[in-house]
Each structure stands twice: as structure tokens, then as C-alpha cells.
């Protein structure tokens, strides 16, 4: 079977200049909507980490003239959802709505973008709530381990800062800063709209023109992005938490830049290493030894180099053996690459399973938005099958060697610390340092 390739490019732009991507499907009376703004958490000043997310969440509380409670009531009555996600480079408003209520939904979305209320009492309430959520995160070991990993890998680089902010940085954010941040956040020149589902371009166009007519023109101020640097040596960070019977464990190093020519070669290589149930890592850790219920590896990309990680969660008594095994597997993979058979199987899996990426209108829309947002070549996603097919065993190995350094690793975990554990971790090959941090001080 040949998978249908995704279309690229916007269908039209609204008068304010925002490009609109449309992926129609009339299978169900449902529409998914995304509005992406071209500025994310990288814009948070030092000491104000979490400002962009706080701004976006406060916008979500509703437009001027409508109380937050009434706004939520209206959204729910429309049979809709509206969420907001903040990344390092973007703010994304994303939701679904029953087709019959699409126009009313878009009108609300337009109002919160251009004229959000940003009320003082909503701000104070949201701040208290956000602080409470940061405390609640301490119950989630995987989140704690991921946070420690990013802090260890990226150090003082902005990618190492939590998008959610910290207790101190959020506490320092003022409403005036949020208002100023909003004024600089919403610009037609950096925004894009995506619509997928039960709607035609003809019906959609006038709705969007009305809803987004007042979005200010122009572009947001550029953020200077410096490249993160790999720290030398293998560095272990243990998040100390009482009574852990199991360890959430992340091991990784720097990954890729978005659009890197090695992207598909590294994708193929990683699929064989830790991307499927029969991959090396999963087979060795889970299938053969039963040491972890979950295991996997992943390459991430952003405008600067993101992370490559492998993760497992072994029982506390198997932690050191499991980590040693993972390091051995990584060394062997970087030194010798995958076998020819592994490369063949990885490519086949990626090509055949690509059909899932095109199953729904929303799934077909996403790669179009990503292509436009990051300025990727027009066939970046559309040519997925061809790109994967073109990767050779040598390409896959060269990409691993070029980008992943097994000598320079960040190893982060949540565990109950004792001297024996720290000694065992220090004795692992290549480990330069072992540091600890209490789970409630991370």
C-alpha cells in the first residue's frame, strides 16, 4: 500500500495576514482548531521563567467583558475543549468543537487572542494555582527525573529552564509583566491557524475573517538563540526521594536541530536502537531480563539542538545493573551501528506505520503546520517514505557517530539515596560526577 502524502502550504490567509491551513474531513461533525503564536518560553527573562506560560494561561481565562466563569461556561456549552501548550518557541491554543458551534468558538478564540481580560483577580488566582501545581509535581517521579535531566543536560542554556517556571520565578512575575508580554506575543506575521475536520474552505474563510480581523500586524521581536553545548564526561544527578521501590531513569545527550540533514538517518538508527518493542534496548532490558516495564529512546529536535534520551524504570535493586547494561548498549551502538538486518527492519517499520500519521484530518494537519512553522523544506514530511527509504546502514551509523557522544552523558534518576547507591554509581565507567538534590528542592 502506498500511503497518501500530506499536502503542504497554507490554503489561504486572512486579511490580517495569518496563514490558514485546512485539512477537511466530513466523517464526523467535529472540528479541531489550532492557533500557533511564534514566541515561546525562550522569551522568558531570567528570573521570570514561566512568564509566557502564565500569560497564555491568563489569556485562556477569557476576553474583556466576559468573566472567566462565564467564558468557561460558554466553551463547555458549545461542546468544546480549549487547551494551551507552551513550548520553548511557541504558544499553541488547541481545541475541538462540535461542527454546529464552530463559528461561535472561533469568535471566542479571536477575542482571547486580541483582547484578553488579564484581570487582576484572575492573575492572582492563576498564580496561586500555578504555584500549587508546581508543588503537586513532586508526586510524579517521571516528571522530576525529566526535569533533572534537562537541567543537567542543558545547564544554564534556556532549554534547561522549565517552561512552567519555578516557585521563585513564578512568585516574582507581576500582572504588569504579563500584560506587557501579551502585547508583544500576538502578531499576525508569526502566527498561523490550522483547522481540521468537518468544514469546507468556503464556509471557514468568512468565519476566520471575522474572528481574527483585529490581530495586530507585524512580527514579534527576535529572540537570540545560542547553541547548547555538551558538558564533558558522564554526570549523574540523583533526585533523592524517600521510599522509592523503583527508579525513573533518563540517560541522554544532545540531539538534533530541526531540519538537520541527518534527521531521517538518525530516526532510522534510533528506531532500531530503542524505538520499537523489538529494538535492542527494549529487548535487552525488558524482554530478556524483565528489568523494566517500559523502555525506549527518542531523538528530539528544535531550532537549536534538543536532546536524545533513553529511559527505563528498573526496580531499585536492579538500578545499577540496568544502567550499566544501558551504557554498554549505547557504547556498542555508537561504535558499530546497527546490523544490516536491523536497519532493514527499522526502515520497513517506519514506512509501513506511516499510514497512522495520515489517519485523521488532525494528524494530517500537524506536519503541515510544523513544516511552515520551522521553515522546513516543502517535502520534509510529505517525502517521509522516500527519505526513510534512502537511508543506508552507513548513513544511519554516520549520523549516530556525528551527533551522539556516549562519553558526554547526563544521567538523571529519582531514587532513595544511600551511600551504597552513590558508591556504585560513581564506579560506573566514565562517570565524572555524582550529585544529589532533594525532590522538594528541584
**Using the rule CB under 8 A, which residue among 147, 161, 313, 381 binds another protein?**
313
Residue 141 binds another protein, judged by CB under 8 A: yes
- Element containing residue 324 per DSSP (H, E): helix 319-336
Q: Name which of residues 243 to 302 contact another protein (CB under 8 A).
A: 243-246, 276-278, 283, 286-294
Helices 175-185 and 120-136: crossing angle, nearest 10°? 90
**Using the rule CB under 8 A, which residue among 355, 392, 423, 429 binds another protein?**
355
**Using the rule CB under 8 A, which residue among 194, 314, 367, 382 binds another protein?**
314
Q: Residue 416 and residue 324: Cα distance in Å, rounded? A: 19
Q: Residue 49 and residue 432: Cα distance in Å, rounded? A: 30
Q: Residue 395 and residue 175: Cα distance in Å, rounded? A: 51
Residue 348 binds another protein, judged by CB under 8 A: yes
Are 117 and 66 in contact, with CB atoms under 8 Å apart?
yes
Residue 128 binds another protein, judged by CB under 8 A: yes
Residue 34 binds another protein, judged by CB under 8 A: no
| Identity of the residue, 356 or 430, whose beta carbon is nearer to another protein in the bound complex | 356
Q: Residue 27 and residue 21: Cα distance in Å, rounded? A: 19
- Write down the least CB distance from residue 67 to another protein, Å: 11
**Using the rule CB under 8 A, which residue among 241, 263, 280, 397 binds another protein?**
241
| Contact range with another protein by CB under 8 A, out of 84-92, 126-134, 210-218, 297-305 | 126-134
Residue 356 binds another protein, judged by CB under 8 A: yes
| Identity of the residue, 254 or 281, whose beta carbon is nearer to another protein in the bound complex | 281
Residue 187 binds another protein, judged by CB under 8 A: no
| Identity of the residue, 351 or 398, whose beta carbon is nearer to another protein in the bound complex | 351
Residue 1 binds another protein, judged by CB under 8 A: yes
- Write down the least CB distance from residue 243 to another protein, Å: 6
Neighbours of 8 (CB within 10 A): 18
**Nearest Cα residue to 129 out of 171, 174, 73, 79:** 171
Neighbours of 314 (CB within 10 A): 26
- Write down the least CB distance from residue 290 to another protein, Å: 3
Q: Which residues contact 79 (CB under 8 A, 6 or more apart)?
A: 97, 98, 101
| Contact range with another protein by CB under 8 A, out of 9-17, 21-29, 330-338, 423-431 | 21-29
Q: Residue 174 and residue 55: Cα distance in Å, rounded? A: 10
Residue 440 binds another protein, judged by CB under 8 A: yes
- Backbone phi and psi for residue 287, each to the nearest 5 degrees, phi listed first: -70, -40
- Write down the least CB distance from residue 297 to another protein, Å: 16
Adjacent-strand bridge partners of 116: 63
Residue 135 binds another protein, judged by CB under 8 A: yes
Q: Name which of residues 358 to 417 contact another protein (CB under 8 A).
A: 358-360
Q: From residue 1, give the alpha-carbon distance in Å to each of 6, 189, 233, 360.
A: 15, 39, 46, 17
Residue 195 binds another protein, judged by CB under 8 A: no
- Backbone phi and psi for residue 24, each to the nearest 5 degrees, phi listed first: -75, 150
Burial environment of residue 115 by CB neighbours within 10 A (0 to 12, 13 to 18, 19 or more): middle
Residue 27 binds another protein, judged by CB under 8 A: yes
| Identity of the residue, 405 or 416, whose beta carbon is nearer to another protein in the bound complex | 416
Backbone angle region of 251, left / alpha / beta, with phi > 0 → left and psi within -120 to 50 → alpha = beta
Residue 345 binds another protein, judged by CB under 8 A: yes
- Write down the least CB distance from residue 94 to another protein, Å: 13
Q: What is the DSSP string of 90-104?
A: -EEEEEEEEGGGHHH
Q: By the criterion CB under 8 A, which residues form the site for another protein?
A: 1, 3-4, 27-30, 68-69, 72-73, 75-81, 96-98, 101, 125, 128-129, 132-133, 135-136, 138-139, 141, 241-246, 276-278, 283, 286-294, 313-315, 345, 348-349, 351-356, 358-360, 440
Amino acid at each position: 500500500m502506498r500511503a497518501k502524502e500530506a499536502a503542504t502550504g497554507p490554503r489561504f490567509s486572512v486579511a490580517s495576514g495569518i496563514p490558514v491551513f485546512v485539512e477537511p474531513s466530513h466523517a464526523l461533525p467535529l472540528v479541531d482548531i489550532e492557533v500557533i503564536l511564534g514566541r515561546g518560553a525562550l522569551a522568558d527573562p531570567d528570573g521570570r521563567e514561566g512568564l509566557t506560560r502564565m500569560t497564555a494561561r491568563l489569556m485562556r481565562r477569557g476576553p474583556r467583558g466576559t468573566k472567566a466563569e462565564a467564558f468557561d461556561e460558554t466553551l463547555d456549552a458549545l461542546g468544546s475543549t480549549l487547551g494551551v501548550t507552551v513550548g520553548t518557541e511557541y504558544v499553541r491554543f488547541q481545541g475541538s468543537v462540535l461542527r454546529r458551534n464552530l463559528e461561535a468558538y472561533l469568535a471566542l478564540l479571536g477575542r482571547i487572542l486580541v483582547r484578553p481580560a488579564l484581570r487582576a483577580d484572575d492573575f492572582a488566582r492563576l498564580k496561586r494555582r500555578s504555584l500549587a501545581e508546581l508543588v503537586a509535581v513532586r508526586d510524579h517521579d517521571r516528571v522530576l527525573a525529566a526535569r533533572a535531566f534537562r537541567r543537567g543536560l542543558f545547564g544554564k542554556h534556556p532549554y534547561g529552564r522549565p517552561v512552567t517556571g519555578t516557585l521563585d520565578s513564578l512568585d516574582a512575575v507581576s500582572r504588569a509583566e504579563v500584560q506587557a508580554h501579551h502585547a508583544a506575543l500576538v502578531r499576525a506575521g508569526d502566527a498561523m491557524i490550522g483547522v481540521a475536520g468537518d468544514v469546507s474552505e468556503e464556509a471557514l474563510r468568512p468565519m476566520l475573517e471575522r474572528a481574527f480581523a483585529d490581530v495586530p500586524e507585524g512580527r514579534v521581536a527576535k529572540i537570540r538563540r545560542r547553541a547548547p553545548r555538551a558538558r564533558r564526561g558522564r554526570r549523574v544527578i540523583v533526585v533523592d526521594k524517600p521510599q522509592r521501590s523503583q527508579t525513573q531513569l533518563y540517560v541522554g545527550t544532545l540531539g538534533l536541530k530541526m531540519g538537520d540533514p541527518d534527521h531521517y538517518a538518525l530516526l532510522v538508527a534510533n528506531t532500531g536502537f530503542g524505538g520499537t518493542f523489538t529494538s535492542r534496548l527494549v529487548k535487552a532490558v525488558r524482554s530478556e531480563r524483565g528489568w523494566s516495564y517500559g523502555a525506549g529512546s527518542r531523538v528530539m529536535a528544535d531550532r537549536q539542538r534538543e536532546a536524545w534520551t533513553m529511559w527505563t524504570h528498573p526496580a531499585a535493586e536492579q538500578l545499577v545493573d540496568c544502567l550499566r547494561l544501558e551504557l554498554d548498549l549505547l557504547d556498542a551502538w555508537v561504535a558499530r551501528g546497527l546490523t544490516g538486518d536491523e536497519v532493514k527492519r527499522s526502515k520497513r517499520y517506519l514506512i509501513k506505520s506511516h499510514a497512522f500519521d495520515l489517519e485523521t484530518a488532525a494528524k494530517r494537519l500537524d506536519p503541515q503546520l510544523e513544516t511552515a512553522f520551522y521553515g522546513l523544506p516543502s517535502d520534509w514530511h510529505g517525502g517521509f517514505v522516500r527519505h526513510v527509504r534512502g537511508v543506508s546502514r552507513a548513513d544511519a551509523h554516520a549520523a549516530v557517530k556525528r551527533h551522539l557522544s556516549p562519553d558526554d552523558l547526563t544521567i538523571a534518576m529519582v531514587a532513595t539515596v544511600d551511600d551504597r547507591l552513590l558508591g556504585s554509581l560513581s564506579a560506573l565507567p566514565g562517570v565524572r560526577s555524582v550529585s544529589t538534590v532533594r525532590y522538594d528542592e528541584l
